[in-house]
Amino acid sequence: MKITGAQAVMKSLEMLGVDTVFGYPGGAILPAYDPMIEAGFEHVLVRHEQGAIHMAEGYAHATGRVGVCIVTSGPAATNLVTGLADANMDSIPVLAITGQVATTAIGSDAFQEADVTGITMPITKHNELVHTAERIAGALKEAYYIAKSGRPGPVLVDIPKDVLNDLIEWHWDEHIDLPGYRPTIRGHGKMVKEALDLIASAKRPVIYAGGGLVRADAGEELRDFAERLQLPVVTTLMGRGILPDRHELTVGMPGMHGHYAGVKALQETDLLVTLGARFDDRVTGRLDAFAPLAKVIHVDVDPAEIGKNREVDVPIVGDLKVVLGQLLRVLDDKEEKGLLEPLLPDTKAWRNHLDELKRDHPLLLDQPETGVLKPQTAIRAIYDTWGDDAVYVSGVGQHQMWAAQHIPYSRGGQWINSGGLGTMGFAVPAAIGAKVGVGRDVPVVAIDGDGCFQMTFQEIAAAVQHDIPVIFCVINNGFLGMVRQWQSLFYEDRLSQVRLPQDCPDLLKLADAYGIPGFRVMHVEDLDAILAKAYAITDQPVLIDFRVDPDEMVFPMVPSGASNDDVLETAEQWYARAAALAAAKLAAAGEDQL
Amino acid sequence: MNSNHTLSVLVENKPGVLTRIAGMFARRGYNIHSLAVGPTDDERVSRLTVVVGTEAVQLEQIIKQLNKLVHVLKILELDPDDAVEREMQLVKVTADPATRSQIIEIAEVFRAKIVDVSHDALTIEAAGNPAKLEALAELLAPYGIREMVRSGTIALSRGTRSITDGSKLRMQRAV
């Protein structure tokens, strides 16, 4: 029996095991929305196509499965661009299906035509314009496989309207033929041994654990490996929770707003055991001053990451879960033969030192008992309310950094944010997608800023309509807080276009407008009672407006472009450093004049 | 130190593959000196020859980034001392009866061919390495070059080895 290309899209998605797609119908994709009525998966109707792709990302983040979105041609497809770039930066497996004008109209500047494969080429792992209906099943199958395998990423499949309408014989097979795409899964045995030898001889080794471990679902292997060799672990913004924060070997987060001990661990180490991290500039600070004493072991599934920013002593290309398994097996072998001892580095003094740093340099928070609510206090209280079971999703800015710093994460995938691209507006749709992925029993809490929230809050309607009970928390400080912080610190407090009235929109009225419960916390003393009320609501979305101290800044902070040696823990330290630099400059200028 | 490197790249003969490669070079800030693309003996496969001016560390990154493109099948850096590299050049040069024989003489020295003759011009076809073609153009310049076109470099390694040796590609082709 012959079926249409559109039916082939539905059948392909069913064969791939897709349970939910996030989408928005329109002209060129219309043929697909007809057989969708009978399709074996759910469709979440978003309010803007950017919402569809961020939901697909949130779903993928939370479940490890491929997130799928489907939209029409032209403006709908271009509305995916931000999300595709986001997924590309953070290696999130997403399949985006876009409608396209009929093949006969392509290139004619037809209504709602855009060169979508051309536009998205640099921000997808791969993409394809499907020319025939016979190709649909193969294109979707390959796209799905490419998205989730190797270094995961977004793949876009663009399908013209006439191709969706054409009749074909349905054919599906599992065979994948991609001669130019063969990700390396197993690490090189010799390199694995070399890595262990290098670790054995290190005095101050540290595991630099990135988001690649989360993508590879390698939390257990990481814990075993770190425990066997007693290696301290820092977890990057994308890797938070992959070793639980409460684990004794966890040092904290490195980077521009990392924990003090996390930053210092990387600066003082003599061996970076880099697992699925990419020496991002927000972690390294000034690259030539980063981890100056360290040799480097780098394990990554993407060979192009190895040696990209930092020269590597022992490179291992492979899937993190598999390579850690290989490392553990070598240790097992040695143990059986009674040869384990020489492979164990003596890290006791180093660990003690890091523990001291942790103890002596905690996150600083000056919260009065009554009155003003500090944003960090709000975030800690959110965690105290929803706890270790919940998934936390953030936008981008100060609230993101506080949520990354102050919540003790306990598993990979529990913390979802936009790391590489820094996409404001990510939280609301990503949290909705994550909630669809994790289901009823796991609370999903969006921790958003007031700036971010206003970029995408229209998706609350989708959460209401499709009965997706997410807790939306707005850390409302009436500012584009991170921008304001930079203006304060780098532009002499000359604030430019960063004020957002805390009352506009009135979030309680907004909650009302969407027909969901809304709460507002004005003072710290109200926090617990209001959160208890919000916690009791589990059957519909909730919106909470936290009116927080507008002047609070994120610390610790490594000044942009500075060395990680210059990590500053308070605004006072910051201003003291700035004054010293200015004085030194003046003195130098004075000498010049002489 | 920047120097020129010649990469031979086998790609699947699919729409947009050249755009993918050119786009990757552009967005990562790599410099393409020359690019030539054409079919191979297998109709499913095209071969690109890319000359890039770069340092060794960046070259490694370029090769790795190229390898990430799904349609790229194989990349080989050709050693200039162990490869045959050629460019083609067509030059239309002003030639009156007084200068024509001199120009033909120059062309013969370079083993170039006269491919078109008209009243006051000659078109010369020459192939060779860039230095040779530049020398030819320099000698022709005093006569008046009306227009000139040069192809990108194409290259093959010397000896019996082939870029497809030992790769899956060849196995597939044998099927």
What digits encode the pLDDT tens for the residues B118-136?
999 999 999 999 899 999 9
b vs e for B16-49, b when ≥16 Cβ sit within 10 Å of the residue's Cβ?
Answer: ebeebbeebbeeeebeeebbbbeeeeeeebbbbb
- Same-domain pairing of A343 and A457: no
Q: Which of B23, B61, B67 sits opposite A122 (nearest CB)?
A: B23
Q: Which of A121, A129, A279 to mutate to test the interface with B (most CBs of B within 10 A)?
A: A121
Q: Which of B10, B64, B67 to mutate to test the interface with A (most CBs of A within 10 A)?
A: B64
Query: Which residues, 6+ apart, have CB-to-CB distance to A147 below 8 Å?
Result: A66, A93, A94, A95, A125, A153, A154, A155
| Cα A162 → chain centroid | 37
pLDDT tens per residue, range B141-163: 999 999 999 999 999 999 988 88
pLDDT tens per residue, range A230-265: 999 999 999 999 999 999 999 999 999 999 999 999
Q: Tokens 């120097």 correspond to what residue? A: B3
Beginning with the edge strand found earlier in the chain, give each strand of the sheet holding A94-100 in spatial order.
A42-45, A20-23, A67-71, A94-100, A154-160, A126-129
| ipTM, interface predicted TM-score of the complex | 0.90
Does residue A183 fall inside a structural domain? Answer: no
What is the SS3 assignment for A222? Answer: helix
pLDDT value at position B164?
79
- Same-domain pairing of A410 and A525: yes
pLDDT tens per residue, range A107-132: 999 999 999 999 999 999 999 999 99
Residue type, A398: Q
pLDDT tens per residue, range A208-230: 999 999 999 999 999 999 999 99
State the pLDDT confidence band at A482, using cuts at 50, 70 and 90. Answer: very high
SS3 content of chain A, % helix, strand, coil (to 5): 45, 15, 40
Domain of A379, CATH number, reads 3.40.50.970
- Same-domain pairing of A43 and A128: yes
What is the SS3 assignment for B146? Answer: strand
- B16:A304 CB<8 A: no
What is the SS3 assignment for A272? Answer: strand
Domain of A255, CATH number, reads 3.40.50.1220
Does residue A238 fall inside a structural domain? Answer: yes
Q: How far apart are CA A365 and CA A491, in angstroms?
A: 25
What are the structure tokens assigned to B143, written together? 């006569």
- Closest residue on chain B to A177 (Cα): B172
Contact criterion met (CB below 8 Å) for A376 and A406: yes
Residue B94 β-bridge partners: B121
Q: How far apart are CA A252 and CA B96, in angstroms?
A: 81
- Closest residue on chain A to B9 (Cα): A180
pLDDT value at position B165?
74
Does residue A554 fall inside a structural domain? Answer: no
Does residue A182 fall inside a structural domain? Answer: no
Range of the domain at A23: 2-169
Enter the DSSP assignment of A372: P
* Residue A279 Cα distances to A198, A212, A237, angstroms: 20, 12, 12
- Same-domain pairing of A317 and A392: no
- Same-domain pairing of A389 and A354: no
- Closest residue on chain A to B19 (Cα): A118
What is the SS3 assignment for A234? Answer: strand
Q: How far apart are CA B58 and CA B74, in angstroms?
A: 18
State the pLDDT confidence band at B96, using cuts at 50, 70 and 90. Answer: very high
Is the pLDDT confidence value at B175 over 80?
A: no
State the pLDDT confidence band at A593, using cuts at 50, 70 and 90. Answer: low
Percent of chain A with pLDDT over 90: 95
Does residue A367 fall inside a structural domain? Answer: no
The C-alpha angle A376, A380, A383, rounded to 5 degrees, equals 145
* Residue A434 Cα distances to A55, A124, A146, A201, B6, angstroms: 7, 21, 21, 43, 47
Residue type, A576: A
Contact criterion met (CB below 8 Å) for A424 and A451: yes
Contact criterion met (CB below 8 Å) for A290 and A263: no
- Same-domain pairing of A88 and A23: yes
- Same-domain pairing of A268 and A403: no
pLDDT tens per residue, range A495-529: 999 999 999 999 999 999 999 999 999 999 999 99
- Closest residue on chain A to B28 (Cα): A122
Alpha helices, DSSP H, located in A341-472: 348-360, 375-386, 398-406, 427-438, 450-456, 460-465
- Torsion of the alpha carbons at A149, A153, A158 and A164, rounded to the nearest 10: 50
- Same-domain pairing of A120 and A6: yes
Query: Which residues, 6+ apart, have CB-to-CB distance to A221 below 8 Å?
Result: A320, A321, A324, A325, A328
What are the structure tokens assigned to B108, written together? 């013969």
Contact criterion met (CB below 8 Å) for A215 and A303: no
**Averaged confidence pLDDT in chain A:** 97
What are the structure tokens assigned to A271, written together? 């061996």
- A180:B168 CB<8 A: no
Contact criterion met (CB below 8 Å) for A23 and A69: yes
Enter the DSSP assignment of A479: B
Show which of A141, A169, A197 is a domain's final residue.
A169
Q: How far apart are CA A249 and CA A351, in angstroms?
A: 8
Chain B residues with CB-CB distance to A under 8 A?
Answer: 11-12, 15-16, 19-20, 23-24, 27, 57, 60-61, 64-65, 67-73, 168-169, 172
Residue A542 β-bridge partners: A471
- Same-domain pairing of A159 and A230: no
pLDDT tens per residue, range A172-203: 999 998 999 999 999 999 999 999 999 999 99
What are the structure tokens assigned to A169, written together? 């014989």
Does residue A239 fall inside a structural domain? Answer: yes
Q: Chain B residues with CB inside 8 Å of A181's CB?
A: 70
Q: How far apart are CA A101 and CA A164, in angstroms?
A: 10
Q: Chain B residues with CB inside 8 Å of A180's CB?
A: 11-12, 69-73
Q: Which of A122, A126, A181 sits opposite B27 (nearest CB)?
A: A122
Contact criterion met (CB below 8 Å) for B3 and A170: no
* Residue A257 Cα distances to A329, A564, A567, angstroms: 36, 10, 9
| Cα A289 → chain centroid | 26
Contact criterion met (CB below 8 Å) for B86 and B111: no
Q: Is the peptide bond before A505 cis (omega within 30 degrees of 0)?
A: yes
Contact criterion met (CB below 8 Å) for A107 and A115: no
- Same-domain pairing of A395 and A419: yes
Q: How far apart are CA A244 and CA A241, in angstroms?
A: 5
pLDDT value at position B174?
39
Q: Which of B40, B60, B68 to mutate to test the interface with A (most CBs of A within 10 A)?
A: B68
- Same-domain pairing of A111 and A61: yes
Provide the shortest C-alpha distance from residue A145 to chain B (in Å). 12
Is the pLDDT confidence value at B170 over 70?
A: no
Mean pLDDT for A554-580 is 90
Q: Chain B residues with CB inside 8 Å of A303's CB?
A: 64, 67
Q: How far apart are CA A296 and CA A232, in angstroms?
A: 15
Residues of A with a catalytic annotation lie at: 49, 111-112, 161, 482
- Same-domain pairing of A18 and A156: yes
Question: All domains of chain B, ordered by start, with CATH?
Answer: 3-78 (3.30.70.260), 84-154 (3.30.70.1150)
Residue type, A520: R
Residue type, B116: D
pLDDT tens per residue, range A412-454: 999 999 999 999 999 999 999 999 999 999 999 999 999 999 9
Total count of domains within chain A: 4
* Residue B114 Cα distances to A562, B8, B104, B121, B124, angstroms: 63, 30, 7, 11, 5
Enter the DSSP assignment of A183: -
What is the SS3 assignment for A19? Answer: coil
Mean pLDDT for B29-57 is 92
Enter the DSSP assignment of A524: G
Element (H, E) at A239: none
pLDDT tens per residue, range A458-469: 999 999 999 999
Contact criterion met (CB below 8 Å) for A475 and A447: yes
Q: Is the peptide bond before B39 cis (omega within 30 degrees of 0)?
A: no
State the pLDDT confidence band at B171, using cuts at 50, 70 and 90. Answer: very low
b vs e for A231-258, b when ≥16 Cβ sit within 10 Å of the residue's Cβ?
Answer: bbbbbbbbbbbbbbbebebbbbbbbbbb
Percent of chain B with pLDDT over 70: 94
Does residue A521 fall inside a structural domain? Answer: yes
Does residue A582 fall inside a structural domain? Answer: yes
